[in-house]
């Protein structure tokens, strides 16, 4: 009986230590959020959700920090890396790139991941998303939802990342073949000017647009406010923004949680690779928040409510586009194919 009890004790101890044995000798996950911290209902919250999922499934500890300014990124990155406690350190947001380029060279044995930007270091996995494919899906939906057949888009800055969104969007409207047209993009020139974003959206509405897509950071919130005031449809970006108003019909979603989860898991399983990891619709990294599985995810995870019912025949066309993109039957162009 004593031998049996002792054996059971050994087994219990082994099971308790198993996560450490299997996943890197007790090392942890480090997460450095973008400025603004948790509660943004966007990149920070969804990155955190992916890290929490990895932490729970792998049985490892998660540490995270919420920097208040860009100047803090380098210090947090160095502190995390120098502790040697983390199997991987995930950095959220494009404005961590400059600091990470420096820190990754200082700590070449440390694994890093960077969300939505690239750092050309062998120990950094740059997680990118095929925004053009998500734009295509929104374009299809916008084309079928527009009654005036005029659609507007408000961008934050005229940069390749935003042009990538909008080129796909225009191609989706064209593919839908409803006779709808997309007016020239109205650029705010800043990410943090909701007043101007609203003014530009109102101007587009005055020109007859009854669907407005905003990809402009905080400036885009002003554009979506304009759609609410004028009773036209709005569309969001990056995370589900349908909770912002009763006239917002969809958002292109970057499933950062999936990208973060998969990258963390690869680090602990020994399959981590530095370099650019760019995925899209086929891999589930890019989607539309009105697909049934997406809608339930956003509603359950963040308690969002979708307030506009989308006709089933519209979503069937969007689903058709998703399938064709996934199979390679639709090739969505990138900005470089149009000269930049």
- DSSP bridge pairs for 155: 187, 215
What is the β-pairing status of strands 286-288 and 248-254?
antiparallel
Is the pLDDT at 22 greater than 70? The verdict is no
Query: How far apart (Å, rounded) are the C-alpha atoms in residues 213 and 41?
Result: 18
CATH topology match: 2-129 vs 131-253+287-338? yes
Is the pLDDT at 224 greater than 90? The verdict is yes
Residue 10: CB atoms within 10 Å:
10
Is the pLDDT at 60 greater than 70? The verdict is yes
Q: What is the pLDDT of residue 152?
A: 98
* pLDDT average, residue stretch 239-253: 91
State both tokens at 97.
Answer: 């790139």
* Cβ–Cβ under 8 Å, residues 154 and 204: yes
Domain range annotation of the chain: 2-129, 131-253+287-338
Any idea how long the chain is?
Answer: 340
DSSP letter for 69, please. S
* pLDDT average, residue stretch 273-277: 96
Q: What is the pLDDT of residue 188?
A: 96
pLDDT digits (tens, 9 = 90+) for 130-166: 999 999 999 999 999 999 999 999 999 998 888 999 9
Helix (H, G, I), strand (E, B) or coil at 247: coil
Instruction: Calculate what percentage of the chain has a pLDDT beyond 70.
Output: 91
Is the pLDDT at 221 greater than 60? The verdict is yes
Q: What is the pLDDT of residue 160?
A: 86
* Cβ–Cβ under 8 Å, residues 138 and 169: yes
The torsion angles phi and psi of 56, rounded to 5 degrees, stand at: -70, -40
Q: What is the pLDDT of residue 291?
A: 95
Is the pLDDT at 17 greater than 50? The verdict is no
Query: How far apart (Å, rounded) are the C-alpha atoms in residues 213 and 150?
Result: 12
pLDDT digits (tens, 9 = 90+) for 61-86: 999 999 999 999 999 999 999 999 99
Q: For residue 117, give the nearest of 75, 81, 79, 70 by alpha carbon.
A: 70
What lies within 8 Å, CB to CB, of 118 at 6+ separation is 97, 126, 128, 276
5-9, 157-161, 299-303, 304-308: range with highest mean pLDDT: 157-161
**From 27-41, 193-207, 224-238, 326-340, the region with the lowest mean pLDDT:** 326-340
Q: pLDDT band at residue 18, thresholds of 50, 70 and 90?
A: very low
* Cβ–Cβ under 8 Å, residues 187 and 210: no
CATH entry 3.40.50.2000 includes domain 131-253+287-338: no
Q: What is the pLDDT of residue 340?
A: 53
Q: What is the pLDDT of residue 217?
A: 86
* pLDDT average, residue stretch 25-49: 88
The torsion angles phi and psi of 327, rounded to 5 degrees, stand at: -85, -5
pLDDT digits (tens, 9 = 90+) for 92-121: 998 999 999 999 999 999 999 999 999 999
Is the pLDDT at 13 greater than 50? The verdict is no
DSSP 306-320: --SPPPHHHHHHHHH
Instruction: Calculate what percentage of the chain has a pLDDT beyond 90.
Output: 77
Q: May I ask the CATH class of domain 2-129?
A: alpha beta
Q: What is the pLDDT of residue 8?
A: 52
Q: What is the pLDDT of residue 161?
A: 83
């Amino acid at each position: 009986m004593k031998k049996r009890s002792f054996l059971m004790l050994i087994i219990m101890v082994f099971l308790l230590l198993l996560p450490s044995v299997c996943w890197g000798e007790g090392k942890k996950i480090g997460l450095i959020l973008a400025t603004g911290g948790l509660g943004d209902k966007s990149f920070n919250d969804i990155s955190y959700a992916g890290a929490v999922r990895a932490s729970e499934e792998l049985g490892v500890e998660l540490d995270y920090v919420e920097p208040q300014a860009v100047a803090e990124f380098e210090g947090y990155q160095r502190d995390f890396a120098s502790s040697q406690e983390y199997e991987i350190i995930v950095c959220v947001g494009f404005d961590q790139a400059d600091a990470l380029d420096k820190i990754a060279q200082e700590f070449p044995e440390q694994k890093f991941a960077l969300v939505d930007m690239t750092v050309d270091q062998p120990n950094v996995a740059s997680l990118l998303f095929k925004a053009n494919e998500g734009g295509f899906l929104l374009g299809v939906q916008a084309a079928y939802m527009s009654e005036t057949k005029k659609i507007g888009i408000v961008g934050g800055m005229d940069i390749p990342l935003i042009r990538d969104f909008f080129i796909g969007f225009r191609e989706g409207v064209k593919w839908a073949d409803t006779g709808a047209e997309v007016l020239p993009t109205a650029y705010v020139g800043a990410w943090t000017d909701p007043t101007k974003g609203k003014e530009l959206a109102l101007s587009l509405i005055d020109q007859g647009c009854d669907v407005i897509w905003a990809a402009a950071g905080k400036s885009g919130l002003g554009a979506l406010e304009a759609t609410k005031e004028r009773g036209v449809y709005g569309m969001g970006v990056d995370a589900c923004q349908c909770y912002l108003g009763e006239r917002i019909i969809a958002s292109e979603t970057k499933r950062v949680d999936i990208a973060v989860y998969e990258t963390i898991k690869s680090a602990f399983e020994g399959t981590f690779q530095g370099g650019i990891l760019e995925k899209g619709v086929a891999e589930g990294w890019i989607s539309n928040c009105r697909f049934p599985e997406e809608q339930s995810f956003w509603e359950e995870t963040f308690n969002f409510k979708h307030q506009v019912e989308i006709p089933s025949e519209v979503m069937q066309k969007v689903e058709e586009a998703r399938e064709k993109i996934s199979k390679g039957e639709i090739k969505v162009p990138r900005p470089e194919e149009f000269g930049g």
